[in-house]
Structure 1
């Protein structure tokens, strides 16, 4: 070649260091999975306040909630209190250990057998004056009565409280992007 010449040399030690940081950050997503699990747990708990599942789909109201003016899936608070999360280097999960949770999550039917129940009351005054009868605990009753309850099928609609939607996916993607951005910047992954 005659005339002028330009030589370009690429120093790849910086790129090698960058790729090494990205590989290390991608190999142990533990910190971001812990953040993701916490976010999913918080989102799941919020659903009990809003009465809606992933995507904001409102739960069909329960008969108890209609009757008492309460919230669906929130009676004793045990289901919501049982929500936990955990994570590892490559996974994040949220769930519950309550056996009845699947029935509420997916819906279904339960066959209830015929049975006899005992009701306890406190009776004041004449036995034929029903306005003076009060349902009470067994220990406070002065009158007990057996009742036959016919067998029936209890049907529960799906009220999903677990799962992720588009907004959740966006937050999780931003958590992962931040994790990788710290690795690119040379910070702690």
Structure 2
């Protein structure tokens, strides 16, 4: 066959400019490593939800706490006598983690429940008498330095059983919020902004 100079084959070329796609992958990878802003938001959410549980008297799973005797007697809230435990709840975060908790030594017995064994002991009660000895209204409990009368009492050993009243933890709503925060973080890194 003679060469006529006409090519019988077909050739096509495609050049892909993947700079935008590579940029997207780099931004997503960077966002996955630099989770600090998202973790700070998660920590803030967890702290807010933990504090809210004291107002509702429910655990992370939505189950109501067993009411305390003090709360029943005084018409108050369980775990919120003076608010020290609730007010001690704090959160912290870094690029890889978020946490919420408290530094109160008695927090664990409330969170997990348990038994407290109190040994027998001697207690001295200080009072100040103002008036007649036979009228209880004339007696006041005072500090030792202000007392003009004291009595010593023997307190027998006893056991206190504390039910678990979990206040720290993750509920279904918390997990949904965490997913949404991380999704928004990655969406913003990808250039999609927030929904």
Normalised by the length of structure 1, the TM-score is 0.87
CA–CA separation in structure 2 for the residues paired with 1:139 and 1:71 = 34
Question: In structure 2, how many angstroms separate the alpha carbons of the residues matched to 1:83 and 1:101?
Answer: 10
Are the aligned partners of 1:21 and 1:186 in contact in 2 as well (CA < 8 Å)?
no
In structure 1, what is the equivalent of residue 4 of structure 2?
Answer: none
Deviations 1:90-134 (A, max 9, x none): 100001111111111000111101011223344455433445544
Deviates more, 1:136-145 or 1:34-43: 136-145
For CA contacts below 8 A with separation 6 or more, give which structure has more relative contact order.
Answer: 1
Match of 2:151 among 145, 150, 166: 145
Greater shift, 157-166 or 127-136, is seen at 127-136
Structure 1 unaligned blocks of 5 or more: none
Structure 2 length normalisation: TM-score?
A: 0.85
Distance 1:76 1:186 in 2: 46
**RMSD (CA atoms):** 2.3
1:185 aligns with 2:163: no
CA-to-aligned-CA distance 1:17-46 (integer Å, 9 cap, x gap): 111111011011111000000110111111
1:24 alignment partner in structure 2: 30
* CA distance 1:55–1:80, shift in 2 (3 Å): same
Find the residue that maps to 2:190 and give its secondary structure: helix
1:104 to 94, 110, 133: 110
C-alpha deviations, 1:117-154, integer Å up to 9, x for none?
Answer: 22334445543344554444445544322211110111
Aligned 1:121-136 pairs, distance under 5 A: 121-123=127-129, 125-130=131-136, 132-136=138-142
Higher mean C-alpha displacement, 39-48 vs 120-129: 120-129
* Distance in structure 1 (CA, Å) of the matches to 2:116 and 2:94: 36
Unpaired runs of at least 5, structure 2: 1-7
Relative distance call for 1:69 and 1:137 in structure 2 (3 A) is farther
2:5 aligned residue? none
Alpha-carbon contact 1:48-1:74 (below 8 Å) kept: yes
Aligned length: 186
Q: Distance in 1 between matches of 2:103 and 2:72?
A: 27
Q: Distance in 2 between matches of 1:60 and 1:4?
A: 80
Mapping of residues 30-179 of structure 1, within 5 Å:
30-123=36-129, 125-130=131-136, 132-179=138-185
